[in-house]
Amino acid sequence: MTTRNTTVLVVEDEALLLYSIADELRDQGFDVVEARNAAEAIRALEAHPEIRLLFTDVDMPGAMDGLALAAAVRNRWPPVKIIVTSGKGRPAPSALPDGAFIPKPYTSHAISEVFRRLGG
């Protein structure tokens, strides 16, 4: 996979983490769409059909957490590759969609390597 023109949706409720990882991924050549919760993420997916990769935190405010968002994306946008992250432990394998899990703290390099491995 080449990162040029690959669009990533980053979903993170902690503003500093969101801005940091989004900027780092842009520096690596990804196009990045940002969302602070699952509702914003769904709207972004509807508005940006070019999104091919989702990077979401598990713990987020609102009616839907990152695992529920990942399941919704898997069902509605099956071509989108998914990476889930959490600083509070690894979710049960049955709770994770096909894709990958990266524990916090993470690096943008680790995320982009997983994206490349997923073929997004």
Q: 96 or 14, which is more confident?
A: 14
Cβ contacts of residue 102 below 8 Å, gap of 6+?
83, 84, 85, 110, 111, 114
Beta strand spans in 1-120 (E): 7-11, 31-35, 51-57, 81-86, 100-103
pLDDT value at position 89?
79
* pLDDT tens figures, 28-57: 889 999 999 999 999 999 999 999 999 999
pTM of the full structure: 0.90
